[in-house]
Amino acid sequence: MKRNLLLLVVFFALGFAACAQRSSDDNGGEAAASTETAEEFVARMNTELAGHYREAGAAGWVYSTYITEDTALLQSRANARYAEWHTRMVEESMRYDGQDLPAETRRALDLLKLNTSAPAPDDADKRNELAELGTSMEGAYGAGEYCDAGGNCRGGQELENFMTSSRDPDALLDAWQGWRTIAIPMRNDYARFVELANEGARGLGYADLGEMWRSSYDLTPAEFEADTLRLWNEMKPLYDELHCHVRAELGEYYGEDVVPQDGPIPAHLLGNMWAQSWSFLYDIMEPYDGVAELDVTSTLESRNYSPEEMVRSAESFYVSLGMPRLPDTFWERSMFTKPADRDVVCHASAWGLDGGNDLRIKMCIRQNYDELRVIYHELGHNYYQGAYRDQPAIFQDGANGGFHEAIGDTVVLSMTPGYLAEVGLIGEAEQSEEAVINRQMQMALGIVPALPWTKLVDEWRWGVFNGETTPDNYNDAWWDLRLNYQGVAPAVERGTEDFDPGAKYHIPANVSYTRYFIARVLQFQFHRALCDAAGHEGPLHECSVYGSEEAGERFWAMLEAGSSEPWPNTLEKLTGTRQMDATAIVDYFQPLMGYLREQNEGRSCGW
């Protein structure tokens, strides 16, 4: 029977993996007496859960910072042990179905059920198989390498770097195609992974894993789907104008034979492996040449900022809001750079180990502005994890997954030219209408292409999980969505044996992705509310809350609550509304929208 699913939140791969990770001691899962009250059950559950976080967190950290057969075994074992516990506890919790319980107890039970991104079948062999598949796909992604015809071998991060800097279409296409070869061997494993996780989801009462994921937003799955579509339609006009302009400029740059003006943009020419951020095209797109010096990268290079200095810069922002300094262990235990002698998962993540007392990030930091923003993003996770550490383990999470992803990105919106100049990352902040447009273009190239992209990734998975998209159709369905939403297409034929979705971290690592779409909306809502709290007057895009303890206090109050309340309550406390709302992002980019419309006049847009 499907119970009250109204009070749900986020979860990470097998409880802890991926972008915001937690961890703490298990008492071995002693069988509870059936006379246990719901409150007693929840108290025991929280203690045992903290134990699993500790164990799986330690195993996960060692695995992703040192990928070997041995660490793979340890991670798989820890995750399988968690999965066994999870299935058993959800079953035990059913004793309390239909009982009239305090809201907090009911919420804890509802969240328990959702506290995994890959529920396991109730069978030891299948459970182990699922855990091993998850571990091996993540490792294969982390250790993936492509050797080109000249025998030059590059890992994921080197290929990503190349995509941001090269302007040679043939070399870009080779790197783009090359990285996708690492995913081909994952296709069958992924299909089996889906089969097993779906069986686990059905055991918990969901139709499939996609329905379970969509249930983690305090809405029915259908309401959530409708809400995301509504938000996308509100933001789409902005994307369409940007797409039209970027295609025209790329057509001039590369020639219209390379970038035809009546169709999708070739996916390898957007300065990013997945065309999800177009920031690295700024020099081509700069609206007013040389107006407003916004080049943070050149400052990082000329002053030779170390990775640690880049992280210190982000920490200082949070501290300026009245938040605490990061603990010493953060600086001792984090991974800031790619080790030379071993395989690691370079994809950035933030870890809240030991119940939020042991915070860390794991990144392979590069010296550029985009990376600096990723650091601010990751510290948003860490500050959230630190803020909710006094909550019981089951509430040590974001109000929903989108909240977790939105914290650091809210702070990024405060990295205005005024702020950057104040902390010495650019020269003087120039004040003119042209400077505003340049700055808006720079922001939009990073944020706006993420809107369709973050919408489509899980739409693909929803189709895979519900069986509409079968393995033979994986790649075609993927490119249909990329064409429809993003207006991008591969420049070379893709075949059934290809598994292009697997070349994006969150697919092999099984991290749900709609969280980033929600975050794109929430970051602007949060920013608007914090700017109000800071007493900002004037356009939203000029606001930085740097140094505002009033804003910091409001922010912290939200962070401290973790997932203890349904997110609409949490949202209302900060913003005064219970709805996700795209008006803040649309307002923010109003000046750029005017510029783009002017530029696109007379062009034929669309694909």
Catalytic residues: 347-348, 377-378, 381, 405, 506, 516
Identify which of residues 187 and 504 has a Cβ nearer to ligand X8Z in the complex: 504
Q: State yes or no: residue 292 binds ligand X8Z (CB under 6 A).
A: no
How many Å is the Cα radius of gyration of the chain? 23
Identify which of residues 19 and 275 has a Cβ nearer to Zn ion in the complex: 19
Smallest separation, CB 517 to ligand X8Z (Å): 9
Q: State yes or no: residue 19 binds Zn ion (CB under 5 A).
A: yes
Distances (CA, A) of 91 to 88, 95, 158, 433, 601: 5, 8, 46, 61, 61
Convert residues 310-349 into a mask of x (bound to ligand X8Z by CB under 6 A) and - (unbound).
--------------------------------------xx
Q: Which residue, chain included where needed, has tokens 């579509």?
A: 229
Identify which of residues 10 and 56 has a Cβ nearer to ligand X8Z in the complex: 10
265: DSSP letter = E
374-433 positions binding Zn ion, by CB under 5 A: 405
Identify which of residues 348 and 437 has a Cβ nearer to Zn ion in the complex: 348
Count the residues in the chain. 607
Q: State yes or no: residue 18 binds Zn ion (CB under 5 A).
A: no
Q: State yes or no: residue 270 binds ligand X8Z (CB under 6 A).
A: no
Smallest separation, CB 75 to Zn ion (Å): 20
Per CB under 5 A, the segment of 15-23, 105-113, 244-252, 521-529 that binds Zn ion is 15-23
Q: Which of 9, 14, 19, 292 binds ligand X8Z (CB under 6 A)?
A: 19
Strands 145-147 and 153-155, sheet pairing:
antiparallel
Whole-angstrom Cα distance, residue 555 to residue 558? 5
- Residue 349 interface partner, choices ligand X8Z, Zn ion, none, CB cut-off 5-8 Å depending on type: ligand X8Z
- Residue 374 interface partner, choices Zn ion, ligand X8Z, none, CB cut-off 5-8 Å depending on type: ligand X8Z
DSSP letters, 195-216, are: HHHHHHHHHTT-SSHHHHHHTT
38-57 positions binding ligand X8Z, by CB under 6 A: none
Identify which of residues 348 and 477 has a Cβ nearer to ligand X8Z in the complex: 348
For residue 335, list its beta bridge partners: 362
Q: State yes or no: residue 351 binds ligand X8Z (CB under 6 A).
A: no
Size of the site for ligand X8Z (CB under 6 A): 6
Structure-derived torsion over alpha carbons of residues 186, 192, 193, 195, reported in degrees to the nearest 10: 150
Size of the site for Zn ion (CB under 5 A): 2
Identify which of residues 374 and 456 has a Cβ nearer to ligand X8Z in the complex: 374
Smallest separation, CB 100 to Zn ion (Å): 38
Smallest separation, CB 478 to ligand X8Z (Å): 15
Distances (CA, A) of 222 to 203, 213, 300, 366, 556: 20, 12, 46, 41, 32
Burial 500-530 (b: 16+ CB within 10 A, else e): bbbbbbbbbbbbbbbbbbbbbbbbbbbbbbb
- Residues 6 or more apart from 564 whose CB is under 8 A from it? 104, 107, 391, 395
Q: Which of 10, 175, 344, 374 binds ligand X8Z (CB under 6 A)?
A: 374
Please tell me the chain's helix, strand, coil percentages from 3-state DSSP, rounded to the nearest 5. Answer: 60, 5, 35
Q: Where do runs of H (alpha helix) occur along 388-510?
A: 401-413, 417-422, 433-447, 450-465, 474-481
Per CB under 5 A, the segment of 17-25, 92-100, 132-140, 280-288 that binds Zn ion is 17-25
Count CA atoms closer than 13 A to 68's CA, side-chain side. Answer: 6
- Residue 411 interface partner, choices ligand X8Z, Zn ion, none, CB cut-off 5-8 Å depending on type: none
Whole-angstrom Cα distance, residue 384 to residue 407? 8
Q: State yes or no: residue 379 binds ligand X8Z (CB under 6 A).
A: no
Contact 365, 4 (CB under 8 A): no
Whole-angstrom Cα distance, residue 283 to residue 475? 33
- Residue 520 interface partner, choices Zn ion, ligand X8Z, none, CB cut-off 5-8 Å depending on type: none
Q: Which of 232, 403, 516, 555 binds ligand X8Z (CB under 6 A)?
A: 516
Contact 211, 221 (CB under 8 A): yes
Closest residue to bound Zn ion by CB: 19
Q: State yes or no: residue 450 binds Zn ion (CB under 5 A).
A: no
Contact 526, 574 (CB under 8 A): yes
Identify which of residues 295 and 370 has a Cβ nearer to Zn ion in the complex: 370
Smallest separation, CB 2 to ligand X8Z (Å): 30
Distances (CA, A) of 331 to 26, 286, 336, 361, 408: 27, 37, 9, 9, 19
Smallest separation, CB 457 to ligand X8Z (Å): 8
Convert residues 398-417 into a mask of x (bound to ligand X8Z by CB under 6 A) and - (unbound).
--------------------
Contact 132, 85 (CB under 8 A): no
- Residue 83 interface partner, choices ligand X8Z, Zn ion, none, CB cut-off 5-8 Å depending on type: none
Between helix 69-93 and helix 38-64 the angle, nearest 10°, is 170
Identify which of residues 19 and 545 has a Cβ nearer to ligand X8Z in the complex: 19
Q: State yes or no: residue 363 binds Zn ion (CB under 5 A).
A: no
Chain residues that interact with ligand X8Z, rule: CB under 6 A: 19, 348-349, 374, 377, 516
Chain residues that interact with Zn ion, rule: CB under 5 A: 19, 405
